[in-house]
Amino acid sequence: MRSTSSKLICAWSLSAGLAIATACATNPATGKKEVSLMSEQQEIATGQQLDGEVIKQMGVYNDPELQRYVNDIGMRIAKISPRPNLPWKFTVVNQPAVNAFALPGGFIYVTRGIMPFLDDEAELAGVLGHEIGHVTARHSAQQYTKATGASIGVTLLSIFVPQARPFQGLTETALGVLFLKYGRDDENQADELGAQYAAQGGWDPRGVAGMLSTLDRIDASQGSSKGVPNWLSTHPAPANRVEHMQQVIAKIPDTHPGAGMGERDRATFLQKVDGIIFGDNPEEGIVRGNQFLHKDMRFALAFPPGWDVQNTPQQVVAKDPNADAFVLLELVPQASGSIDQVAVGSMQNAGFRALSGGRTQLHGLDAFVGTYQGNLQGLGNSIVRAAHISHDGKVFMVAGIAPQQVYQRVQGELDTAVSSFRPLSQQEAANLQPNRVDLYTVRQGDTWESIASRAGDGTIKPSTLAIMNHRNPSEAPPPGARIKIVVAG
């Protein structure tokens, strides 16, 4: 949840310049003739337009040295691709999800969340080469054209409860087409191109297979990360994908026999990711146990223990893992008038009628707490217990949501969560620091459990720590190995 409202009430449409007739063109990556709905100039224009939206929505990770490192590797690969003259741009975006994606025209993004899960520079080159492959083969242009031409509206961010969209105000934008799944053929082709480009650039192409194996383990152990879909939810991973890549790599000529298939450079890569933020950023709010704390806006909220929490730039949502019950936190946009007027008016605008309510104080803050009833698509007749709270010149809404038949069972948990909103003291806010990646040399007797426990309870799972270092969680870390760990903020 960001300090300022970042709602993008924007629906992209094909302009007159993009609504073009189908044409036949040569695919620059394959040399084959195929249908093309976008000229190269239109690819570039589309990418430039959407690049601003990506940056606005996701933010650029504030590490100039890391940005230069990623851009230098990306440009080195792009310049040997079949489309070296595109306005290539490589950006590390400030998102904790494990992901990478491409826009038409040569705009490539990797999240800061993917970086700790890569093992060396060859794997980073494999990720960038894969995304470059999507651009050179015009997969990203085809996806964008296909989706916008069909008027598909896809939200940019994953959320637990799309049925509660009257509360969310989340954008329905063509930017969401970036997270539609590519087809298996496109994925295989991008894998192959990525390995070829990496090898031509001097890196070990086996980095592509290594990165796929690690990302597959992440997907199996964790599922989706927070904020945006993870890499394997947007890039399908058929069971034979790693095996297929091993066969492809075996056919790539070894132009570096003395170095064994090219450069890997783990030492430089580890140096670049040392200190990178892991997980949530306090500037956009962090989850600690069942609490959500926001450093800049100086507030805290306690969700029911054991509920799954999703933090996005627009709002924070917690879900009961065993029922359709939710707690939602968001800013009320352009709130004006008394807290009573804001509360009742915003709920009426969302289609809910008040059953009861009144003004009160929550931890010293003026608030209006009420119970409302209305219909939500997918949930049906629902009850909402909502607090509208005035804090630091803003109005926040904390709402507990459940279908009528579920509400009575979870009412106590919802009431407790809704009334838990409190201001943070200046000292509490100052003490909020992000978790970060650090480097550590394994000692005799260390286990993944013992190493993870040093960061503090719940900071990182032992299995995640093992996967970060390309190890099976069931195997002990080898003494003397230089590994990535996570240290608590």
- C-alpha dist (Å) from residue 69 to 125, 231, 273, 477: 11, 21, 10, 29
Domains of the chain, CATH where assigned:
23-277 (no CATH), 290-426 (3.40.1000.10), 435-487 (3.10.350)
For 74, the token pair is 């990306």
d(CA 196, CA 132): 11
Instruction: Give the SS3 label for residue 167.
Output: helix
DSSP-assigned letter for residue 203: B
- C-alpha dist (Å) from residue 165 to 135, 224, 283: 33, 20, 25
HSE-CB at 445 with a 13 A cutoff on CA atoms is 0
- From first to last of its 489 residues, what are the pLDDT tens digits of the chain? 765 433 322 222 223 333 333 445 556 666 665 555 678 888 899 889 889 888 887 889 999 999 999 999 999 999 999 999 999 999 999 988 888 888 889 999 999 999 999 999 999 999 999 999 999 988 766 665 555 443 322 222 233 444 444 444 333 333 444 444 566 778 888 889 989 999 999 999 888 888 888 877 776 665 444 444 455 555 555 456 777 778 888 888 765 544 455 688 999 999 999 999 998 888 888 888 889 999 999 999 999 998 988 777 678 889 998 999 999 999 998 888 999 999 999 999 888 999 999 999 999 999 999 999 998 877 889 999 999 999 999 999 999 999 999 999 999 999 999 999 999 999 999 999 999 999 999 999 999 999 999 887 678 889 999 999 999 888 999 999 999 999 987
d(CA 373, CA 407): 11
Return the pLDDT at 316: 87
The candidate with the shortest Cα–Cα distance to 468, out of 97, 100, 119, is: 119
Decide if 446 contacts 477 (C-beta within 8 A).
yes
Q: If DSSP states are collapsed to H, E and C, what string results for 9-41?
A: CCCCCCCCCCCCCCEEEECCCCCCEEEECCCHH
d(CA 182, CA 160): 23
DSSP readout, 255-268? S-TTTTSSB--HHH
For 166, the token pair is 């009257």
d(CA 175, CA 12): 8
Return the pLDDT at 310: 78
Number of Cβ within a 10 Å radius of residue 349: 9
Would you say the C-alpha torsion 11, 16, 17, 22 has a positive or negative sign?
A: positive
The candidate with the shortest Cα–Cα distance to 49, out of 6, 3, 87, 2, is: 87
d(CA 309, CA 312): 10
Return the pLDDT at 117: 94
The candidate with the shortest Cα–Cα distance to 43, out of 8, 88, 80, is: 88
Return the pLDDT at 31: 60
For 475, the token pair is 């195997």
Name the strand (E) or helix (H) holding 139: helix 139-149
For 362, the token pair is 């929550």
Number of Cβ within a 10 Å radius of residue 352: 24
Q: Which residues face 487 on adjacent strands? A: 436
